Amino acid sequence: MQHQNNYVAIMAGGIGSRFWPESRTNHPKQFLDILGTGKSLIQWTYQRFKNICPQQNIYFITNQHYIETLKKQIPELDTKNIISEPFRKNTAPCAAYFAHKIMALNPNANIILTPADHLIMDERNFELTCHNALDFVSKHDALLTLGIKPTRPDTGYGYIQYHTDSEIEKVFRVRTFTEKPTLELAQTFLKSGDFLWNSGIFVWNVKTIMSALERYLPEMHDVFMQAKDVYNTPEETKTISDLYAHCTNISIDYGIMEKAKNVYVIPSYFGWCDLGTWESAYDNADKDYLGNAVFGNNVMVIDATECMIKAPTDKLLVLQGLEKFIVIDTPDVLLICERNREQQIKEYVAEVKRNKGEKFL
């Protein structure tokens, strides 16, 4: 049975610049159907959590510019469940704002804080893991994260090392956090067997996270304490808009998780992918016999291999002779980039901004 004390906060305010030119400032990747499934990433995420907590307890934290898009994509969503973030300030202010808001609503709340744009292949296993996590934090003073068993020495993810001999209900105490490592270090992590990818999905009881905020981010905690009388009232949006500028731009990982002593992890196996780049989309897409991932009804591939190709439905795209390229065609931008250079797309976007302004972003 879904527990009334369980809440989900889906963070949906990012730009997704590594998915440019498909992802744009006014229509970022969480609202796109990257893999041609018929649903956007945010729609899949919402659907996934409807089986984990009551529908009225699922909230979205998004930039004010995306509220109308969110309403269109999830029309059944109650307006009160959309939290407008006035500025992009990283994940710690998101976490702090939501904790304060929910504390005023339900001081016994258990919270899942999650990005909106992850791919989960084994949804049943994901549900079971989330229920286990929520149950654990309801009974223990724990800041919990879901860790993913690594399958390759990926340098694009953060890593969590855990004490393998500290199991309580399939939950382990965290030893260290490591931000995106070098390839050599990532290979060492993979061999050691006690490292996990950091999924960026966090679970805690509201009292536990409030205590952690007070201890490790006291200034930010004080900012949101100033609004304690207006949470869940008509005055909330205006008050938060005024206060948000005083928050430090910092991640929850760096601000709290790397400093706290009561941090735990669940080694998880539910086919997770942080769908953050065209390369990750390529890895998870269906491919033809030459290894090409093709999206578009009128794409013709001739002697090309292992390419990621996306074109508008009504546009003819003929591709010949390329190997391991990303080709993304949109009405106003064409990107052709070697797959092994795709981590530099953010740099290309910055270069476009410098030379061409905001028009193509």
CA distances from 110 to 8, 57, 156, 187, 281 (A): 8, 11, 30, 36, 32
**pLDDT tens string 130-141:** 999 999 999 999
- Kindly give the pairing relationship between strand 272-274 and strand 334-338: unpaired
What b/e sequence results for 311-344 when a residue is b if at least 16 CB atoms lie within 10 Å of its CB, and e otherwise? beeeeebebeebeebbbbbbeebebebebeebee
Determine the CATH number of domain 6-274: 3.90.550.10
pLDDT level of residue 223 (50, 70, 90 thresholds): very high
Bridge partner residues of 27 (DSSP): 24
Q: Is the pLDDT of residue 117 over 50?
A: yes
Residue 276's Cα: distance from chain center in Å?
Answer: 9
Give residue 189's pLDDT.
82
As a whole number, mean pLDDT of residues 16-45 equals: 87
Model confidence band, residue 81 (pLDDT cutoffs 50, 70, 90): very high
pLDDT grade for 181, boundaries at 50, 70 and 90: confident
pLDDT of residue 168: 86
Segment 152-166 mean pLDDT: 84
Per-residue pLDDT at 261: 92
Distance (Å, whole) CA 60 – CA 49? 12
pLDDT of residue 307: 96
Residue 192 has a pLDDT of 79
Q: Is the pLDDT of residue 279 over 80?
A: yes
Q: Give residue 324's pLDDT band: very low, low, confident or very high (50, 70, 90).
A: very high
Domain ranges for the chain, please list them. Answer: 6-274, 278-356
Taking 90 as the threshold, does the pLDDT of residue 167 lie above it?
no
Ranked by mean pLDDT, the top range of 175-179, 301-305, 342-346 is 301-305
pLDDT at position 86, please? 83
Q: What is the pLDDT of residue 11?
A: 92
- Region 324-350: mean pLDDT is 91
Q: Residue 1 has what pLDDT?
A: 41
Long-range contacts of 331-337 (CB under 8 A, 24+ apart): 332/21, 332/360, 333/20, 333/21, 333/360, 334/21, 335/20, 335/21, 337/278
Residue 75, pLDDT score: 94
Read off the pLDDT of each residue in 36-59 and give the average, rounded to a whole number: 91
DSSP 86: S
Q: What is the mean pLDDT of residues 139-155?
A: 89
CB 60 within 8 A of CB 81: yes
